[in-house]
Structure 1
Amino acid sequence: MNLRREHIDLEPSLSYPFHVLATHYNFEGNPYSDSDDALTLILFHALGVHKETWEVTIASIFNLCSSGASQAKIRDILSIESPNHGRSSEINANEIARQAVDNWPREYAKAAQRFLTARPLIGGSRVDLKTRKLVGICHSLGAAALFLAAQADPTIPFKFMIAFEPGVTDKDNSQRIRANFAASAWAWLRPDVFRSRKAARKALERDMMYATWDPRCLDLFVEHALIAHPAAKHQAPFTFPGVITALSRDHHARSFMSDDLTFHGVEAYAAMTQRIPVYLVWGAVDEFANDDLRDFMTKPGRTPASVSKIEDAGHMVIQQQPEKCAEEILSILLIESKRMARL
């Protein structure tokens, strides 16, 4: 299976100041590339990573489809990046400096909404994504962005959604308050500057947070979530040829304080469950979400289509078990394809 990538840059407009970057994925010989009946998957990443973080899962999905091991009909996949993550943080650097730092979960939603409604240039043609059968797939912070974007514009035609470890809950939930406090403290303390990408790889594989990741996902992080250090532009002898995390510690830590990441996100989630099927997938290892918090997501008014768990994974389930996540996604796609065929 030959994975094809196309990098898309939706430029700023008079109404939206940021570049919105996405990567379009497909594979050579996909029989559903031009099928109006096939699904287009829209991916939203977690806090602190980047749009390419899904690539191991994407490759596994396409491998299973191309080998005949799955009957899911997938037209293509698009992964949208938050404007302050990954390569987006470099291209948007000047505008990011002019913006407040407390509203980035909502900003990710706005970026996704703009991308999905602006007819982006894909494969040399303007594509009206509103004519597609869209499936929203998200992880952690990406869940808030997906739910908020869909709530803000109900004309975006999501047929159903799959949320891995969604980072949303009630404002006063004590478990989430403790978890977000711990996560914010970690974000302020996490390593963010390295002498080189090679040094970063060695340091991160020894770090408790990243040591549990699939090595391929960690390689993608080193490639896409780290950017040249600003001091690399300084004249000798003060230049520093190192790298820094694309997402700043400040933006990272403050995102955990955002009401959009928590109760605004859960309000939007509740609204989605009343409109379309929303599937919840948790890591079996309790980290940010214990059973009480997971039960909160299924209370009256918040009715997911199903709740499942991925073994040997915690909150960073996409990075820890990318191939199991691919299998879970394909299983849900088949269930939903059968349901939609009956309508």
Structure 2
Amino acid sequence: MSSPVFEIKEHIIDASHIREYPRATAHSQEEVLKVAVKQYIPKSNPNPQPGDVTVIGVHANGFPKELYEAMWEDLVSASAARGFRIRAIWIADMAWQGVSGALNEGRLGSDPSWSDASRDMLHMVNVFRAEMPRPLVGVGHSFGGAIVANAAFMHPRLFEALVLMDPVLMHFRSIEPQVVGGGPQVASAARRDLWPSRRDAEASFRRSPFYRTWDPRALDAWCRHGLRDCPTALYPDAPAGSVTLATTKHQEVFTYLRQRAQRLDPATGRFVFDRALLRDIQPAMLSELPDYDFYQPDSDRVFRRLPDVAPGVLWIFGSTSNLSTPALRAEKLAATGTGVGGSGGVAAGRVAEHVVEGVGHLVPMERPTVCAEQAAAWIGREMERWRKEEEDLQAWWRKPDREKWTIDDQLKAMIGQPRRSKL
């Protein structure tokens, strides 16, 4: 693919096995899903050196991975001034979204899990490990922030730093009433998803106030990659030339919230509530919101683990985002990295925030340059720490091999001598 900044390579890998929920697939839990991956290699760094950074990106719900190309371009530009170079940037479409969703058409069910996406990311790193030497940095937006943070809990030493842009991470009690009662899933379920031509769709997007505040590069990417040509499984009989959303609005809605009714009643064909099937719901959520039909286990679960996060974390928030009110931001800052195994948090200089004024939840689409500059500054700081740790390890690497796998005198002294038997 053509880009003035990157050489772009495309890959397709299997998704991780087994999925979090049985109905993530359509016919069998053994169905193999595919994941579409893009690798962005900076043309300015054709011969990467040890210590160059590998970035793992994660997109927001319903937005294709290509929407972040403007931010990646600006990140490459900003990295040189911050004392590091980028080896490559990797980002995948979730198995049920974007190009991956098209590859898996006919195999997808109605119950995707954010944790599946975290495991798919870890699987991607292992598949391409030869091209992903340390250090690795995770960058996630919206629900992608929860996914990359969850991966950091699964593998605490995977990332040296995280950049979380207006992530959907909060205790269920912290959710604003308008999010619970009429959140984005309502708009997504009702959104238009079929146009007579790509030209008509693009004209509609460019007229919409929703997209008017976007960086032009991000909007161009949406017009190119946010649509796919018909016919599709959803619209098999659409007229020639018609286009629909690259991620179906149905999979987008399934991603936001999981319904509490999980047992399929064979007599009626309807789903009914069965507490035994909700192993990942907080009991307090059932008692405090008894009449609410949905829950989102990963947002709450990952939020609860923020004290354990080991990498340094930069939070980038939109000042007008209803997911990032001052109270919600304070919750995250106070918790992050402060527990056993955590980075030490704000007090240790390993956690910080940047609030982008006048911007809402879609901060990387509206202000990609600001996000890139803030991310570069944070990554540069964390790379200074990483290099010092690498230098300290040189004393170990230089030791003779036999000393690395045998008990030395220091350890013998610590263990002590066995007591003599009186027999």
TM-score w.r.t. length of structure 1: 0.86
Structure 1 distance, partners of 2:18, 2:241, is 37
Match of 1:111 in 2: 120
Q: Deviations over 1:41-84 (max 9, x none)?
A: 1100111101111101111222344xx54432222111122112
% same residue: 21
Shift of 1:231: 5.8
Q: Give the equivalent residue in structure 2 for 1:340.
A: 386
Residues 7 and 256 (structure 1), Cα distance of their counterparts in 2 relative to 1, 3 Å cut = same
Tell me by how many angstroms 1:308 deviates.
0.9
Q: Report the equivalent of 1:314.
A: 360
Q: Distance in 1 between matches of 2:388 and 2:15?
A: 41
- How far residue 240 of structure 1 moved from its aligned partner, in angstroms, is 4.0
Which deviates the most, 210-219 or 314-323? 210-219
1:75 correspondence with 2:87: yes
Please say which of residues 184-193 and 163-172 is displaced more in the overlay. 184-193
1:33-182 matched pairs, under 5 angstroms? 33-65=47-79, 68-96=80-108, 99=109, 101-117=110-126, 119-120=127-128, 127=130, 129=132, 131-154=133-156, 157-175=158-176, 178-180=178-180, 181-182=182-183
**Are residue 20 (structure 1) and residue 35 (structure 2) matched?**
yes
Q: CA deviation at 1:306?
A: 0.3
Deviation, structure 1 residue 127: 2.2
Aligned to 1:123: none
Q: CA deviation at 1:300?
A: 4.1
Matching residue's letter, 2:315? L
Per-residue CA deviation, residues 154-192 of structure 1 (Å, 9 max, x unaligned), is 46x2111110001111022241x5225321111112222
C-alpha separation between the residues in 2 aligned to 1:109 and 1:13?
Answer: 9
What is the CA distance between 1:265 and its match in structure 2? 2.5
Please tell me whether the aligned partners of residues 170 and 299 of structure 2 are also in contact (alpha carbons under 8 angstroms).
yes
Distance 1:172 1:61 in 2: 35
Distance 2:222 2:313 in 1: 28
Shift in CA distance, 310/200, structure 1 to aligned 2, threshold 3 Å: same
SS at match of 2:360: coil
SS in 2 for 1:158: coil
Q: Is contact 1:167–1:261 with CA below 8 Å preserved after alignment?
A: no
Q: Is the 8 A contact 1:159 1:276 kept in 2?
A: yes
Whether the 8 Å CA contact 2:314–2:375 is kept in 1: the answer is no
Greater relative contact order (CA < 8 Å, ≥ 6 in sequence): 1
1:262 corresponds to which letter in structure 2? S
Which of 255-264 and 78-87 deviates more? 255-264
Deviation digits for residues 179-225 of structure 1, max 9, x if unmatched? 25321111112222112222111111222322221121111112112
- Aligned with residue 10 of structure 2, among 7, 13, 17: 7
Q: Let me know the Cα RMSD of the aligned residues.
A: 2.5
Runs of 4+ in 1 over 4 A off after TM superposition: 12-16, 231-235
What TM-score do you get using the length of structure 2 for normalisation? 0.70
Deviation digits for residues 302-343 of structure 1, max 9, x if unmatched?
546101112342110111111111111111111112222333
Post-superposition Cα deviations, 1:246-299, rounded to whole Å, max 9, x if no partner, equal 222222223222424420231343421xx2211111012233321121122123
Contact 2:15 2:123 in 1 (8 A): no
Bigger Rg, structure 1 or 2: 2
Equivalent residue number for residue 186 of structure 1: 187
Q: Which string of whole-angstrom CA distances, capped at 9 and with x for unpartnered residues, describes residues 119-138 of structure 1?
A: 23xxxxx7263x42110010
Gaps of 5+ in 2: 20-31, 259-295, 338-344, 390-423
Q: Offset at 1:234?
A: 5.5
Q: Residue deviations 1:8-31, cap 9 Å, x none?
A: 111357757221221111222416
Counterpart secondary structure, 1:299: helix
Q: Is the 8 A contact 1:280 1:308 kept in 2?
A: yes
Q: Which residue of 1 aligns with 2:273?
A: none
Structure 1 distance, partners of 2:215, 2:205, is 12
**What is aligned with 2:282?**
none
41-50 or 77-86, which deviates more: 77-86
CA 1:57–1:266: 2 relative to 1, 3 Å: same
CA distance in 1, matches of 2:236, 2:223: 23
**Closer/same/farther in 2, CA of residues 152 and 338 from structure 1, 3 Å limit:** closer
- Quickly say closer, same or farther: Cα 1:260–1:53, change in 2 above 3 A: farther
Native 8 Å contact 2:318 2:363 kept in 1:
yes
Instruction: Count the aligned residue pairs.
Output: 324
Give, in whole Å, the separation in 2 of the partners of 1:111 and 1:102. 16
Letter in 2 for 1:6: K
User: What are the superposed Cα offsets for residues 88-135 of structure 1, whole Å, 9 maximum, x if unpaired?
Assistant: 111111221xx2x23332222222122112x23xxxxx7263x42110
Contact map agreement 1:50 1:224 (CA 8 A) in 2: yes
CA distance in 2, matches of 1:34, 1:239: 48
Could you tell me which residue of structure 1 aligns to residue 412 of structure 2? none
